[in-house]
Structure 1
Amino acid sequence: MRTTFVVFWKATAIFQFGVAVAWGAPMLYKNQNQPDENVRYLQTVGFVLVAAVPMLAMSYLTAPFVKRVAIEIPDPARRSLHALLAFSRNVPPATRLEFTTLRAFPWERTTGVTMSDLRAIPAQKGRFANIELVKTKQYLEHRKKKGILMKVWEVLAEPRWKFYVKEGRSYTIKTRVPGVWENIAVAIKQQTLKEAEKELERLLKMKKALKTGHKRPMSRALPAIPIRISPPEAPKLRRQTLRSQAKR
């Protein structure tokens, strides 16, 4: 039901934009009541931009909306619902998940993620997501190596970094495995808290190191002692007098 609601309003916004471009814009540009062609051109461009606002707003607001979640499940966990619930309570970090969302057009887009790369987002006014995909160091390094055309193509492919999955057993009771996603959501929140604690501990260590360990000792300059250099004394010469010569 919720998926149908989102698809309907996305299709409505796209249809409204198409009508504005195909019918409204040409009529506005050919308006004979405005003789200045430049003014007609500016009016047409402004009309098209305003008509695109609902479509862009719907694309942005509904981008994190998740239609379906698929989880990679090992064979032992497939044998019974009890085994599956036990697996969901202790999900390995390397478990693969697939989030199916809707593009700007009401078509599906699948994003593959790893359990260890997911973080819970706290509820906030104006925020339309509750799960975030962390951009790993490997991804950032790989993206730097891409050219401009590849980066533009990546943007056009509408990558997903935030997701919104309805929480609560009332939303998953109709599925064949109720309770599985609730356990996975709890695991995502727990690993988010652990990562936050590690980051806080790292920052505290850095702060402590800056205060104590990594400070260079201040070198104190010795007081300057004036050195007096006395001029060399001339050797004393004995005077020879007439009396001393007479004694000899």
Structure 2
Amino acid sequence: MLTLGLLRKAHRTPLRFDTLGLRNVTARELRLRQNVHLSGLRFESTTPKPKPSTEAVSQLPPPKFAFPERICVYHAGTGRITFLACLKISTLFIFVFFGFVVTPAYYEKEGLSPTVLRTTLSAIVPLVFVAYTTSPFVSFIHMRIPPFARQSEDMLRRFVRTLPPTTELDVTSMSFIAKPRASKVKLEDLYRVNRRLGIVNLARDTKAENAARRWYMFRAVGNFSAQPSSNTVTRASWVWESIMNTIKTRQV
């Protein structure tokens, strides 16, 4: 009986030890898992949230407007512009041919004679006449409008009805060699005139602008020919008529 009791105790003791060890291992694993979980939460909470990139913001569609920032209010017509450009270039060729080819040949042959005088006039007169009559010719005019006036035609009409004097106009004329010349003027600088047999109908004072230019630079354009009857703009053609009515009071 004593032997059987000792054997029973010997078998029970390892079983109790193993049970306690198993409980200790399980508790350690649970603590380790909790620590890992908490550290993960702490890492997620301290990680900064990504901000939206500027590229994504720049890819947003721009607001739509009914009119561009620079609206064309006057256009003289493609045919008229092309004809005058060809006329200017042809006049230059005539001047070069009669002035540097024909006139020197007659002068060497006849000396100072009526023929030399005629060929000289044939070179100079067309050049001066074309330059005098076509220099104020305006090809097209653009007007800068604020964003609120670009939203619809009704808003544009409200803006044009009360045009501020500081409204900027980009007037494009034609130079001596048929090259476009852009003149940035303000509405308050223009006034109505009747010069050069009615060819010039708009003018501005260019004394201050010419004083700031170098001696080798072209003089600023002060006379413009932009007749309302020659306007070929189809969209919002009434804008130029309103502009002419606005500057009508500045006639001198």
Counterpart of 1:238 in structure 2 is: none
Encode CA deviations 1:153-197: one digit per residue, 9 max, x unaligned.
24xx142101111214x734x43222111111110103x16xx7x
- Alignment coverage as a number of residue pairs: 174
Note the 1:166-245 alignment, pairs <5 A. Answer: 166-168=227-229, 171-172=231-232, 174-190=233-249, 192=250
Greater RCO, CA 8 A, separation 6+ = 2
Letter of the structure 2 residue corresponding to residue 23 of structure 1: V
The equivalent residue for 2:184 is 112
Q: Deviations for 1:3-31, whole angstroms, at most 9, x for unmatched residues? A: 12212221221121121134202311321
Residue identity in the other structure for 1:15:
F
After superposition, where does 1:132-143 map in structure 2 within 5 Å? Answer: 132-135=203-206, 139=208, 143=211
Shift of 1:125: 7.2
Partner of 1:23: 101
Kept after mapping to 2: 8 A contact 1:10/1:106: yes
Larger radius of gyration: 2
**Deviation, structure 1 residue 69:** 0.2
Query: 1:73-92 to 2 correspondence within 5 Å?
Result: 73-92=145-164
Q: Which residue of 1 aligns with 2:132?
A: 60
Post-superposition Cα deviations, 1:19-52, rounded to whole Å, max 9, x if no partner, equal 1134202311321xx3xx5x37x97577435412
TM-score (norm 2): 0.61
Counterpart for residue 163 of structure 1 = 224
Residue pair 1:78, 1:84 contacting (<8 A) in 2 also: yes
Aligned partner letter, 1:72 = R
Find the counterpart in structure 1 of residue 175 from structure 2.
Answer: 103
8 A Cα contact 1:88 1:184, kept in partner: yes
- What residue identity is the alignment partner of 1:171? N
Q: CA RMSD in A?
A: 2.7
Unaligned runs of 5+ in 1: 197-248
State the alpha-carbon separation in 2 of the partners of residues 26 and 186 from structure 1.
53
Task: Give SS of 1:9's match.
Answer: helix
Moved more, 46-55 or 94-103: 46-55
CA distance in 2, matches of 1:20, 1:8: 18
For residue 93 of structure 1, the aligned residue among 165, 168, 172 is 165
Query: C-alpha separation between the residues in 2 aligned to 1:119 and 1:181?
Result: 14
Give identity over the alignment, percent.
Answer: 26
Instruction: Give the one of 195, 201, 207 matched to 1:130.
Output: 201
What is the rounded CA distance, in whole Å, between the counterparts of 1:87 and 1:134 in structure 2?
A: 26
Distance 1:10 1:125, change over 3 A: closer
Going from structure 1 to structure 2, the CA distance change for 1:98 and 1:185 (only over 3 Å counts) comes to same
**Kept after mapping to 2: 8 A contact 1:103/1:158:** no
Contact 2:144 2:169 in 1 (8 A): yes
Q: Verify the 8 A CA contact 2:165 2:187 in the aligned structure 1.
A: yes
TM-score normalised by length of structure 1:
0.62
Contact 2:204–2:222 under 8 Å retained in 1: yes
